[in-house]
Amino acid sequence: MLNIALFGPPGAGKGTQSKKLLEKYNLTYISTGDMLRSEIAEGSDLGMEAKSVIAAGGLVSDELIVRIIEKKISTDPHSKGILFDGFPRTTVQAYILEGLLLKLNSQLNCMISLEAPSEELVTRLLLRAKTSGRTDDTLEVIKVRLKEYDDKTKPVADFYAKKNKYFPVNGVGDIDDIFNNIVETMESNLKKEFTNIVILGKPGSGKGTQGKFLADKHNLVYISTGALMRQEILDDTEIGRIAKPYMDKGEIVPDEIPIRLIERVIEDNRDANGFIFKGFPRTMVQAYILDGLLQREDMHLTGMIEMKLTTLKAVKRLSARAHTDRARPYDMSTDLIVNRLEQYREKTLPVNEYYRKQGKFNSIKAVGPEEDVFNRLSEKIEEISRTNL
């Protein structure tokens, strides 16, 4: 999601530029002032509560602001992002916004501040009072609102400046020129977006084969903790010696092992566009670990795809693999295969539900020619990526 806060004093032109940004980026518009005025016009309880405060040029309570924002967001669940006009106005509201977006598994990308001299602002607001009929644009109220901005809202700039997300733009001049400056400033400073995909599925579903192909097509780095541990075993490293007894039985190795391996791959691929995680996380604890690993790198999981396969089909595939050069130690007996499948059912299926609740769960059928399965997976990754734009 692309989440932008358009910042600046009353009269800076936020409303005018908001319309152009909404059209260009297809965002949900959050203007607390407009929404409150709408509530007042409707005569709702919320509107009546806010009316006297707005008329005097003051700021309504944060509780009211949060209620109307949540109401607005809930009516547009398929939005490409959110444009906040006139919010946050205080550092308290900045923290509130952080929490609201975290609830949506998102964050504010940038704050664009329209800058204009006080004399220009007063002139614009008085002119607006004549043309729009807004009763809160009297000279007395204008002075109160500008003082409110100086006293309470400017510190918000420091809040986002410390996060490297605050960008001032000259708000005086031709409307189109100002807009072009906003777009240029935004797009040159937006944080790089990563595509991080988890591929899960029963043993034998084809995660390894497909994961490598998908990483190549989508210019991502492929991370298979199983493959990494097998290499450690071949190299007879300390990690390999710890992992081998677990790998031989098809059991889950201690979590500190995949953590060390994933950290190493991420460190070696700082310029990557993202990662495909094959078969990790296999447990709920590992799901939390992956969230922490990505968050530490200022990334998040984009989506998870389950490769669906019947248990009977999985057993047949693993039994057949036992007679190839791709055989795993746990392919060699029916008991070991069944043990691996039971571990998937008991420990990994809850991970699917974890991602389902986050709106990140996807699935495809893992049967048919490899090329057909690959096309299904690739289309799903493209769909996930579009949704997260």
Could you report the per-residue pLDDT of 148-168, keeping only the tens digit for each? 888 887 789 999 998 889 999
Could you report the per-residue pLDDT of 50-65, keeping only the tens digit for each? 887 777 777 678 888 8
Average pLDDT over residues 290-302: 90
Task: Provide the H-helix boundaries in the chain.
Answer: 14-25, 32-42, 45-55, 62-74, 91-103, 118-132, 139-148, 154-161, 175-189, 207-217, 225-234, 238-249, 256-268, 284-296, 311-321, 334-343, 349-357, 370-387
Distance CA 223, CA 278 (A): 6
Could you report the per-residue pLDDT of 313-356, keeping only the tens digit for each? 999 999 999 889 888 877 788 888 898 899 999 999 999 999 99
Sign of the dihedral through C-alpha 218, 220, 226, 227: positive
Tokens of 290: 């992956």
Distance CA 269, CA 126 (A): 56
Q: How many other β-carbons are positioned within 10 Å of the β-carbon of residue 76?
A: 13
- Looking at per-residue pLDDT, the higher value among 125 and 268 belongs to 268
Question: What band does 133 get if pLDDT is binned at 50, 70 and 90?
Answer: low
pTM above 0.85, yes or no: no
In the chain the domains, ranked by start, together with CATH numbers, are: 2-189 (3.40.50.300), 195-387 (3.40.50.300)
